Structure 1
Amino acid sequence: MHTVGTALIALLSAFALVFVVELPDKTMVATLILTTRYRAWPVFVGVTAAFAVQVVIAAAFGGVLTLLPDRVVAGVVALLFGVGAFLLLKEGFSKDDEDEDTAATNGPATFTRIALTSFGVLFAAEWGDASQIATAGLSAKYAAPVWVAIGSFLALVTVAGIAVLVGRKIADRLRPKLIQRVAGVVFAGFALFALYQAITAAP
């Protein structure tokens, strides 16, 4: 059994490291973009669920996670972000008028659809990411996977909360079409970076 001190150190170490790593990372950017595109609450639920699954995987497998093939992981991430970029740019450059676009943005998208979309995007973004590897490493270091997972999860949720708050303020001031175009370009950038990683990764 772990002492209270060891558990607290593991939790705080995980929170501090993951928060610092993720604050300027694609996790925050992707969450912010999703919030400008969709309603905030289902986005937050979706990304939170993705974080929960990811930290459980990382904490459970510890250092083994770092042995996954980098090329395969990067290739899957590139594909998912590429599809997202295509859909966003297609919608952003469509010929619909502004009123119809606003209705389409706010109307048809159900809570479940938004949450599942957000889950998929953030699950892909976090797979093999620095925060997941850090969680795995700390889990192995402290031999306290539960406490490390809690610390990592709280850090990711905090970053997502900041992104959601910022995203809502931006969304109120920008046209939906512009948001979709910017989001598509950013997602395309993520896809290209992941593709570069896939190509240059060791086999």
Structure 2
Amino acid sequence: MSLSILQGFSKSLAMTVLSEIGDKTFFAAAILAMRHPRRYVLAGCLSALIVMTILSVAVGWAAPNLLSRTLTKHIATVLFLGFGLWSLWDAFHEGESEELAEVEAELDADLKANSETTRANGKGDDDAKKKNRPLLSQFLSPIFLKAFSITFFGEWGDKSQIATIGLAAAENPLGVVLGGVLGQALCQTAAVFGGKSLATQISEKFIALSGGVLFIIFGIQSFFATVES
């Protein structure tokens, strides 16, 4: 593995883990896994995040070809420093587990609506159909699609997505993809198998502080980095 790939990989891995632990999509995966089969929830959440990571890296990789490399570098620097200050602000001004309560309320409302629909349809017929489904169609089940859509649209436009775009513009795209995918896999697996108990034990303030410091370090590095011709 070349130095540029390793650098992109390590930065992306660290950024992803610190951005996603305690994030809304992390809590959503943890709560969904308590209510539905874990393999469907993990497959849906992880698929959405892998697609989002690849799309973000593709945008970041294309940016230097659409804009000048100097301008791209300045934009990445501002993004990193801005997100760093934003994370530090969140650490000192937001209460613990606010996002957990918000996600739980949203999923509870959704669960009530779905349970009423399920009662109207025959549950016995659904169980019989599930046994006869091929493997692929089981993974394209409503649970998989629900986990995918909640995670994908919850992550769209999120701080971590935009930061991934900035990181891909400044670092080796392949390294950023590999680090991002591994980081997402670690976070989502922890959320799905650790459950809500893990989510409630996470110090959101510590994660926000660590993420803020990391973003600021990336911003300083980007500021002093030389622009390749």
TM-score range, shorter chain: 0.5 to 0.7
Equivalent pair of 2:155/2:161 in contact (CA under 8 Å): yes
Task: Map 1:14-93 to 2 at 5 A.
Answer: 14-62=12-60, 86-91=109-114
Q: Distance in 2 between matches of 1:61 and 1:154?
A: 20
Q: Which residue does 2:187 correspond to in 1?
A: 159
Q: Which residue does 2:158 correspond to in 1?
A: 129
Q: Distance in 1 between matches of 2:56 and 2:158?
A: 10
Q: Distance in 2 between matches of 1:86 and 1:132?
A: 27
AA partner of residue 21 (structure 1): S
Higher mean C-alpha displacement, 153-162 vs 109-118 = 109-118
CA, structure 1 residues 13+50, in 2 after alignment: closer, same or farther (shift >3 Å)?
Answer: same
What CA deviation, in whole Å up to 9, does each residue of 1:19-57 have, x standing for no partner?
A: 101111112101001101110011111111101110111
Q: Which residue does 2:100 correspond to in 1?
A: none
Q: Secondary structure in 2 aligned to 1:154? A: helix
TM-score of the pair, normalised by structure 2: 0.54
Q: Which residue does 1:5 correspond to in 2?
A: 3
Q: Give unpaired runs (5+ residues) of structure 1.
A: 67-80, 98-102, 171-203
Root-mean-square deviation over aligned CA pairs: 3.3
Q: Distance in 1 between matches of 2:197 and 2:18?
A: 23
Check if 1:120 corresponds to 2:149. Answer: yes
Equivalent pair of 2:53/2:177 in contact (CA under 8 Å): yes
Percent sequence identity is 28
Count residues in correspondence.
144
Q: Distance in 2 between matches of 1:34 and 1:14?
A: 26
Equivalent pair of 2:48/2:151 in contact (CA under 8 Å): yes
What CA deviation, in whole Å up to 9, does each residue of 1:66-111 have, x standing for no partner?
A: 9xxxxxxxxxxxxxx898664323357x6x99xxxxx79x958854
Equivalent pair of 1:135/1:149 in contact (CA under 8 Å): no
Equivalent pair of 2:50/2:184 in contact (CA under 8 Å): no
How far did 1:112 drift? Answer: 2.5
Q: Give unpaired runs (5+ residues) of structure 2.
A: 64-74, 76-102, 131-137, 199-229
How far did 1:133 drift? Answer: 1.2
How far did 1:153 drift? Answer: 1.4
Q: Which residue does 1:180 correspond to in 2?
A: none
Larger RCO (alpha carbons 8 Å, 6+ apart): 2
Q: Secondary structure in 2 aligned to 1:52? A: helix
Q: Considering only CA atoms, is the larger Rg found in Structure 1 or Structure 2?
A: 2
Q: Distance in 2 between matches of 1:129 and 1:88?
A: 24
Q: Distance in 2 between matches of 1:53 and 1:161?
A: 17
Equivalent pair of 1:40/1:168 in contact (CA under 8 Å): no
